[in-house]
Amino acid sequence: MNYEHIKSFIKVVESGSFSAAAVERYLSQPTISNQVKALEKELGTQLLIRHANSVELTKRGELFYTYARMMIEAESEALRSIRDDADTDYHLIRIAAPGLQTDQQLSRFFVRMLQEGDDKVLYSIIQRDDAAIPGIIASGEMALGICNTISQDSGLEYEHAFTEEIVLITPNRPKYRNLTPVELRNLLITDGHIRYDFGEGPDFLWNDFFGKTIGMDLHSIRANGYCSNYHIILEAVEAGLGIAFMSSTIMQKPWREGRILAYRCEGLLQKKFYVVYNKNRIKNSRRLQHAKDVLVEELGASVRVPELSF
Q: How far apart are alpha carbons 42 and 39 in whole angstroms?
A: 5
Q: How far apart are alpha carbons 169 and 243 in whole angstroms?
A: 6
* Torsion angles phi and psi, residue 241, rounded to 5: -95, 5
Q: How far apart are alpha carbons 131 and 140 in whole angstroms?
A: 16
Per run of 10 residues, the mean pLDDT along the chain (length 310 residues) is 88 91 83 93 94 91 91 74 52 84 80 87 86 86 91 91 91 91 80 68 58 70 81 92 87 94 84 93 87 95 88
The helix/strand/coil state of 120 is coil
pLDDT at 80: 61
* Torsion angles phi and psi, residue 218, rounded to 5: -55, -45
Is the Cα torsion angle 223, 225, 228, 231 positive or negative in sign? negative
Q: How many residues does the chain have?
A: 310
Instruction: Encode 214-252: b = buried (16+ Cβ within 10 Å), e = exposed.
Output: bebebeebeeeeeeeebeebbebbbeebbbbbbbbbbbb
Tell me which amino acid residue 35 is: Q
- Comparing CA positions, the residue from 195, 172, 163 lying closest to residue 264 is 163
Is the Cα torsion angle 116, 107, 275, 120 positive or negative in sign? negative
pLDDT at 154: 86
Specify the pTM: 0.69
HSE-CB of 102 using CA atoms within 13 angstroms? 30
In DSSP terms, 97 is beta-bridged to 127
> What is the torsion angle, in degrees rounded to the nearest 10, for the CA atoms of residue 170, residue 171, residue 174 and residue 180?
-10
Q: How far apart are alpha carbons 188 and 221 in whole angstroms?
A: 6
* Torsion angles phi and psi, residue 157, rounded to 5: -120, 145
Tell me which amino acid residue 141 is: E
Q: How far apart are alpha carbons 226 and 190 in whole angstroms?
A: 17
DSSP state letter for 218? G
